[in-house]
């Protein structure tokens, strides 16, 4: 006869596998999806995949940790929405630096209403690089997004309109540094011209042609290949926010990635379009310019552009890796 404990463990194991699958939709730099999951019994482990770290663009591995943090948060949202309470240990073993988190379901609970809203947004969220219109982002939405970010252990700074030109300078200078670096251009080309079977990278169908913006948008196709039309607007109503923390220690960057996921899913749930902007945190000296926007009180992790798109068509989804290549299940 099957015992109650065996039933619980089987149900918990299924919930953890579903959570790992939900994490496949998490955003990542250049859509590298640099993580793997291992499910052993009723314990789910998240590890980074060093082979997928961008050696030039992300030489310090900061964006890899942010990306993995996004996958971790997606998994947590899935569990909470399904009515499971989970214990999360971050960086649980010092001797295994690639092991980033261990997730264990501890008990069933009532489905979390807020988590349900975020989980429903996972399949709808897109990085929308098109120009946003002049409709402003309401203050009450920004307040909700700030609360979501802070619940993950990070902070959110809304860049005042009068300081957006400073933000634009930091992004533009970083973009120039990357553009004139042959190694960076080679890495960019490698991740924007991926074979379809890999299920990763940034396909031309999701990027936009260069256009006038308040803050520059990365040119993913510097060879002149065509992408999406940017639209007739120029981000007049866009809000630019910076996710930041107190240090750049690995655990804080991981939490910063969780906050990124919370922000993007929350924005989607509230009907906003969003687009992470990472150029200014990829290069050390533009990152220092960002620190000035934070008045020196924090370490910038990521810029995110928020707003409303007037275009009726949705941005196509980016490809995702096969679960069998990312999730490893042991009996």
- Each residue of 63-79: pLDDT tens digit? 999 999 999 999 999 99
- Each residue of 34-60: pLDDT tens digit? 999 999 988 999 999 999 999 999 999
| pLDDT at residue 224 in the model | 67
119 has a pLDDT exceeding 60: yes
Mean pLDDT of the chain: 94
- Each residue of 270-283: pLDDT tens digit? 999 999 999 999 98
Q: What is the mean pLDDT of residues 81-85?
A: 97
Confidence of residue 15 (pLDDT cuts 50, 70, 90): very high
165 has a pLDDT exceeding 60: yes
129 has a pLDDT exceeding 70: yes
- Each residue of 147-163: pLDDT tens digit? 999 999 999 999 999 99
Confidence of residue 285 (pLDDT cuts 50, 70, 90): confident
In the chain, the domains with their CATH numbers are 4-124+318-330 (3.40.109.10), 139-307 (3.40.109.10)
Distance (Å, whole) CA 229 – CA 226: 9
Q: What is the mean pLDDT of residues 233-261?
A: 96
247 has a pLDDT exceeding 60: yes
Distance (Å, whole) CA 84 – CA 75: 11
């Amino acid at each position: 006869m099957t015992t109650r404990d065996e039933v619980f463990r089987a149900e918990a194991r299924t919930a953890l596998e579903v959570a790992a699958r939900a994490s496949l939709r998490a955003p990542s730099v250049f859509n590298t999806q640099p993580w793997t999951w291992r499910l052993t019994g009723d314990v789910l482990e998240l590890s980074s995949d060093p082979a997928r770290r961008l050696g030039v663009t992300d030489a310090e591995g900061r964006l890899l940790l942010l990306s993995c943090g996004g996958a971790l948060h997606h998994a947590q949202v899935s569990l909470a929405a399904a009515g499971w309470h989970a214990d999360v240990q971050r960086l649980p073993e010092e001797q295994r630096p690639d092991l980033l988190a261990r997730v264990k379901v501890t008990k069933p609970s009532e489905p979390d209403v807020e988590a349900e809203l975020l989980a429903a947004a996972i399949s709808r969220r897109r990085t929308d690089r098109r120009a946003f219109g002049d409709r402003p982002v309401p203050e009450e939405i920004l307040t909700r997004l700030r609360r979501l970010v802070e619940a993950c252990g990070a902070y959110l700074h809304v860049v005042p309109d009068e300081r957006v030109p400073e933000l634009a300078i930091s992004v533009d200078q970083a973009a120039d540094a990357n553009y004139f670096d042959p190694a960076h251009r080679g890495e960019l080309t490698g991740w924007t011209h991926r074979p379809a079977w890999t299920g990763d990278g940034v396909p031309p169908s999701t990027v936009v042609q260069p256009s006038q913006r308040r803050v520059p948008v990365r040119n993913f196709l510097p060879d002149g290949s065509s992408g999406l039309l940017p639209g007739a607007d120029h981000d007049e109503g866009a809000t630019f926010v910076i996710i930041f923390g107190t240090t750049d220690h690995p655990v804080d960057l991981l939490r910063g990635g969780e906050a990124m996921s919370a922000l993007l899913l929350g924005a989607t749930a509230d009907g906003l379009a969003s687009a992470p902007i990472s150029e200014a945190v990829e290069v050390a000296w533009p990152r220092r310019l960002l620190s000035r926007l934070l008045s020196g009180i924090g370490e910038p992790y990521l810029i995110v552009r928020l707003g409303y798109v007037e275009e009726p068509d949705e941005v196509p989804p980016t490809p995702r890796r096969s679960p069998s290549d990312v999730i490893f299940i042991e009996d």
